[in-house]
């Protein structure tokens, strides 16, 4: 296990430390401190961005048009159906302005072990038997720490995030940590929190009980009735 520095030592880009290992104990300690591994070279970079992108559970906005699209296409949503596959798809699905991925074989192996322990979870959208969008992340207390999303069909990742948000809210979760706020996430309801506010919320969450168990039996939330724009 690697001892990582305090997140308040981050540089202007949010980088706190480079190096260490992907032992599950290191990853767990990192998230509980407000750190996460992200882009970099062979040495592992650990980040704590300021501001932090977050969205409150139950507050993801899904437009009427997207709901109609999902219903007419017959899409289905599944929790923890194929966690390793979700990571592989997040690693290999092309993204605009990106030519490589930080989701290496070592990262996948580490997070699959966390999934085995009931800490890692995936939400995916399917067209028939074909996964067309989704996300994965880790849970501690009443926080879901989103790691990566992928989309192969327009609107699919939006439905995955909304389904996660609704399912978490129904079970008393408080927050989805989106790590870095993007324009896309902001359009879905994400907010920018200063690092001190995020770390204070994280500390308050530390004593909350964790649902470290499989989510495979979770039913997806209903897409009807459609919410107003």
Record the tokens describing residue 36, joined without a space.
């996460």
212 with 74: CB under 8 angstroms?
A: no
pLDDT at residue 98 tops 70: no
SS3 (DSSP) at 104 = coil
Distance, CA of 42 to CA of 31 (rounded, Å): 20
> Any idea where the domains of the chain sit in the sequence?
53-192
Peptide bond before 93: cis, by omega within 30 degrees of 0? no
Distance, CA of 131 to CA of 86 (rounded, Å): 9
Average pLDDT, the chain: 94
Q: What's the chain's length in residues?
A: 229
The pLDDT assigned to 102 comes to 85
What percent of the chain is predicted at pLDDT more than 70? 95
- Return left, alpha or beta for 202; rule: phi > 0 is left, psi -120 to 50 is alpha, else beta: alpha
Specify the higher pLDDT residue, 9 or 42.
Answer: 9
Distance, CA of 134 to CA of 160 (rounded, Å): 5
Residue 227 burial class via C-beta count within 10 angstroms: exposed 0-12, middle 13-18, buried 19 and up: exposed
Q: So what CATH class is 53-192?
A: alpha beta
């Amino acid at each position: 296990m690697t001892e990582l520095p305090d997140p308040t030592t981050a540089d202007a880009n949010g980088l706190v430390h480079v190096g260490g290992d992907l032992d599950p104990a290191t990853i767990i300690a990192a998230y509980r401190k407000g750190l996460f591994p992200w882009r970099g070279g062979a040495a592992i970079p650990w980040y704590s961005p300021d501001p932090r992108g977050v969205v409150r559970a139950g507050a993801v906005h899904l437009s009427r048009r997207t709901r109609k699209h999902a219903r007419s296409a017959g899409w289905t949503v599944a929790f923890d159906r194929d966690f390793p596959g979700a990571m592989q798809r997040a690693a290999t699905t092309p993204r605009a302005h990106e030519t490589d991925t930080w989701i290496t074989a070592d990262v996948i192996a580490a997070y699959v072990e966390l999934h085995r322990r009931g800490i890692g979870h995936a939400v995916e959208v399917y067209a028939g038997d074909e996964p067309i969008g989704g996300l994965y992340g880790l849970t501690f207390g009443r926080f879901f720490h989103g790691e990566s999303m992928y989309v192969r069909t327009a609107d699919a990742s939006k439905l995955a995030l909304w389904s996660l948000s609704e399912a978490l809210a129904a079970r008393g979760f408080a927050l989805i940590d989106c790590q870095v706020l993007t324009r896309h996430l902001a359009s879905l309801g994400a907010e920018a929190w200063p690092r001190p506010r995020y770390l204070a919320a994280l500390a308050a969450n530390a004593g909350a009980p964790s649902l470290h168990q499989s989510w495979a039996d979770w039913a997806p939330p209903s897409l009807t009735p459609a919410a107003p724009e």
